[in-house]
Amino acid sequence: MAPEDKDDAPRRTVKCPQCGQAAIWAPENRWRPFCSERCRQIDLGAWASDQYRVAGSEPAPDGDPEGQA
């Protein structure tokens, strides 16, 4: 018996990680948490290109168990 959530909730926004502008946090904003497709693309691009790449540190191949009887 508490007041139910209002239909008229204020639109929630978050800060776009890319450009710092307000980004709408709602299902209608498919780019969230980014403000736009562009910002999202930039971020993903930065990742994929080199920012997220670990230089030559590939894990050992699977067929190399270390303590398996």
Binding residues for Zn ion (CB under 5 A): 16, 18-19, 35, 39
Considering the complex, state which of residue 37 and residue 53 has its C-beta at the smaller distance from Zn ion: 37
5: tokens are 């959530």
The minimum distance between CB 9 and Zn ion, in angstroms, equals 23
Minimum distance from residue 37 beta carbon to Zn ion (Å)? 10
CB of 51 to Zn ion, least distance (A): 17
Tokens of 32: 């969230």
How many CA atoms are closer than 13 Å to the CA of 64, on its beta-carbon side? 4
Bridge-based pairing state of the strands 22-24 and 13-15: antiparallel
